[in-house]
């Protein structure tokens, strides 16, 4: 039995309004680190607010450890929520901020101190218990919020974009800390973000959401290498996937994908899946890092066309090249040609590609 289960979960903000969360079904096992990933307005935060009891449920059910929690108050659900704004009280010391939920439980003073000190030790702020939030950095205040969530020993941690107010360097270090704390506490965690780098680095499984629905559930590698829909392929990866509308044409025993600017030889393993699309259009997706450049104009088996590099965007360990094929923009990631001059003529090759149905957006041959 799953530790947390969502059954046909729905949310509307008015009787005849749109479904913000549309019949969501999800099972989460104890100890998993789950990340809800998607654009603003896709229903991520609304979902965890329903789990916590901060939002009413319009339909469906939420079960924690096999028991429905719909009739339980937020304080009785066994969950702790960490907010984007930290939500720590400026007039209280760090100790009192962390201890506050324990005082509401009317625990003994000795137990409160022991648990606060343990939680502060887990997050590395044991030396700041007598300080006030105004005397602390953003990262330290975030640790206070995490400590307050830990101290009640919840069944489930719910984190609503908790790192979005931190600078880029601190976000990276706090990601590591959150993962460490998750493992140390053996907790079950749901983390909400629109930042794919956070999702890829933290998650055991990623729940990709779009317009109130789950687009795909999988490990970071699965959603990246085996994207279920065009939306997932476009949302996961930086720069995003290049998409081209192509016509699938028969060529001997196989197929070629024909575009005004290139021809791509379909791998034999895709012949069966693409057979129904013969003579029809499909969408070809090519990730920027699966495109090869050859300024020496070497044209091997995976060559598709020649092009000119219009722009180069240095990124340190790699560069992003911008070119055009048949009037459409193409982005290429290369760690080999970091300082390629603009207007360099190059041969392009493709190591791997994906196909999508032009109407449904679903992956073909997945």
Mean pLDDT of 333-357: 93
The mean of the pLDDT values for the chain is 92
Residues in Cβ contact with 108 at an 8 Å cutoff, skipping those fewer than 6 apart? none
10, pLDDT greater than 90: yes
Delimit the domains of the chain by residue range: 4-229, 242-356
For the segment 43-64, what is each residue's pLDDT rounded down to a tens digit?
A: 999 999 999 999 999 999 999 9
Residue 1 pLDDT: 60
Tokens of 47: 């979902």
Residue with the larger pLDDT of the pair 12 and 88? 12
Q: Which of 85-89, 132-136, 349-353 has the lowest mean pLDDT?
A: 85-89
Of the candidates 34, 39, 68, 33, the one whose C-alpha atom is nearest the C-alpha of residue 51 is 68
Asked if 312 contacts 319 with a C-beta cutoff of 8 angstroms, the reply is yes
Query: Which residues make Cβ contacts (< 8 Å) with residue 257, sequence separation at least 6?
Result: 246, 247, 248, 249, 263, 264, 266, 282, 284, 355
Q: Torsion angle of alpha carbons 229, 48, 219, 217, nearest 10°? A: -40
* Average pLDDT score over residue span 138-155: 86
- Using DSSP bridges, classify how beta strands 254-259 and 242-251 pair: parallel, antiparallel or unpaired: antiparallel
Among residues 259, 285, 270, the alpha carbon closest in space to that of 358 is found at: 285
Which residue bears the tokens 């959150």?
178
Show the DSSP H helices in the chain as ranges: 44-52, 94-104, 109-123, 138-151, 168-185, 196-202, 220-225, 230-235, 271-274
Domain 242-356's class?
mainly beta
Q: Among positive and negative, which fits the CA dihedral 110, 112, 117, 118? A: positive
- Count CB atoms within 10 A of the CB of residue 66: 9
Interval 218-238: pLDDT, tens: 999 999 999 999 999 999 998
CATH superfamily of 4-229: P-loop containing nucleotide triphosphate hydrolases (3.40.50.300)
User: Nearest Cα to 79, choosing from 61, 59, 63, 92?
Assistant: 63
The residues pairing with 291 across neighbouring beta strands, listed in sequence order, are 350
pLDDT at 154: 87
Per-residue confidence (pLDDT) for residue 173, from 0 to 100: 81
User: For position 87, what pLDDT does the model report?
Assistant: 79
Whether residue 86 has pLDDT greater than 80: no
What percent of the chain is modeled with pLDDT above 70? 100
Question: What confidence category does residue 83 fall into, taking pLDDT thresholds of 50, 70 and 90?
Answer: confident
| 139 pLDDT more than 80 | yes
**Count of C-beta atoms within a 10 Å radius of residue 322:** 16
The answer to whether 178 touches 202, Cβ cutoff 8 Å, is yes
pLDDT of residue 16: 87
- The string of pLDDT tens digits covering residues 284-294 is 999 999 999 99
What's this model's pTM, rounded to 2 decimal places?
A: 0.88
Tell me, what's the pLDDT at 366? 80
Mean pLDDT calculated for residue range 203-216: 97
């Amino acid at each position: 039995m799953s530790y947390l289960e969502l059954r046909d979960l729905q949310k509307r903000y008015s009787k005849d309004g749109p479904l913000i969360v549309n019949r969501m079904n999800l099972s989460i096992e104890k100890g998993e680190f789950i990340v809800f990933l998607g654009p603003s307005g896709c229903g991520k935060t609304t979902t965890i607010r329903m789990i916590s009891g901060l939002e009413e449920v319009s339909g469906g059910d939420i079960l924690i450890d096999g028991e429905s929690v719909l009739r339980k108050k937020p304080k009785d659900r066994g969950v702790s929520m960490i907010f984007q704004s930290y939500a720590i009280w400026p007039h209280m010391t760090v100790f009192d901020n962390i201890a506050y939920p324990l005082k509401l439980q009317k625990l003994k003073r000795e137990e409160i101190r022991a648990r606060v000190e343990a939680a502060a030790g887990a997050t590395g702020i044991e030396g700041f218990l007598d300080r006030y939030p105004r005397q602390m950095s953003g990262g330290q205040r975030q640790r206070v919020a995490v400590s307050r969530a830990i101290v009640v020993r919840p069944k489930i941690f719910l984190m609503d974009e908790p790192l979005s107010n931190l600078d880029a360097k601190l976000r990276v270090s706090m990601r590591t800390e959150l993962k460490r704390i998750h493992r140390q506490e053996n907790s079950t965690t749901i983390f909400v973000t629109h930042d794919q780098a956070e999702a890829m680095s933290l998650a055991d499984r990623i729940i990709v959401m779009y317009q109130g629905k789950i687009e795909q559930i999988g490990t970071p590698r699965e959603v990246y290498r085996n994207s279920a829909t065009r939306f997932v392929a476009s949302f996961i990866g930086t720069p995003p996937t290049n998409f081209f509308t192509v016509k699938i044409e028969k060529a001997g025993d196989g197929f070629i994908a024909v575009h005004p600017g290139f021809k791509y030889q379909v791998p034999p393993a895709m012949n069966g899946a693409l057979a129904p699309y013969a003579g029809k259009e499909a969408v070809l997706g090519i990730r920027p890092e699966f495109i090869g450049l050859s300024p020496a104009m070497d044209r091997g088996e995976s060559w598709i066309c020649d092009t000119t590099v219009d722009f180069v965007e240095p990124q340190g360990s790699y560069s992003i090249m911008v070119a055009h094929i048949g009037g459409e923009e193409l982005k290429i990631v290369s760690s080999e040609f970091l300082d390629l001059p603009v207007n360099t003529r190059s041969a392009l090759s493709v190591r791997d590609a994906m196909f999508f149905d032009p109407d449904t957006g679903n992956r073909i041959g997945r």
